[in-house]
Amino acid sequence: MKRILSPSILSADFSRLAEEVSLLEDMGIEEIHLDVMDGHFVPNITIGPPVIKSLRKETDLFFDAHLMITHPARYFDRFIDAGADGITCHVEVEESKKCLDMAVKEGIRAGISLNPETPLEKVLPYLEKADMVLVMTVHPGFGGQRFIREMIPKISALRDYIEKNGLDTRIQVDGGINTETAEDVLKAGAEILVSGSGVFKGDVRKNIERLKGIIEGFEK
């Protein structure tokens, strides 16, 4: 199973977003994480389809849209039209199953996410259909939060369940991922590491080199 780094542009410089994404491409990044917040499901508002559509013109990178919104199905087609290659919605919202079904039907990467306080059991029924499950390792809504170490056993339990049931579902983690926490989540079974501040705070090139080095070192 290939493990990758997926930078979250939530922590990028929005005044020069296209340049930031171009730098990510130069550094060999394969996909970027797009945090979409509605101010209702989470106490913050970020980007939507117009920003994604504009950015789509600048890059061919995989767009991983993480919909932290109460009604993801209502806006699903807009994200598809904007250029999203994968859409992840939260198991905590009523439209989670519908959103997952829509992603499968559209042939894009279908993801399901769960918050730190949500029991793992709640997401298990979705795994046969989901291409990816996102374990939040911070409380969603803001960037730059501290990693919740209590989520490591949840990642491990999820990895065990996936392997025991012969599933191909990939595990993504998001929240507080940096050079101090990356190896821990990799050991627990994570495959896609989302990092915002860990990439964009300070020297972006050096941060990416260090994080990719941890991932590559773990795979040897």
CATH, residue 127: 3.20.20.70
What is the pLDDT, as a whole number, of residue 45? 79
The one catalytic residue in 26, 64, 101, 174 is: 174
CB atoms within 10 A of CB 23: 17
CA nearest 59: which of 23, 89, 86? 23
Say how many domains are in the chain.
1
Pairing of strands 4-7, 192-195: parallel
Query: 52: domain range?
Result: 4-219
35 tagged catalytic: yes
What is the pLDDT, as a whole number, of residue 220? 67
Angle at CA 156, nearest 5°, toward 206 and 64?
A: 50
Residues paired with 48 in a beta bridge? none
The one catalytic residue in 13, 35, 131, 160 is: 35
174 tagged catalytic: yes
* DSSP 3-state of 95: coil
Weakly modelled stretches of the chain, pLDDT under 70: 142-144, 220
Residue 125 in tokens: 């029924």
* DSSP 3-state of 209: helix
Residue 160 in tokens: 């065990």
Question: Do residues 64 and 7 touch, judged by C-beta distance below 8 A?
Answer: no
pTM: 0.95
Question: Do residues 112 and 133 touch, judged by C-beta distance below 8 A?
Answer: yes
Pairing of strands 132-136, 109-114: parallel
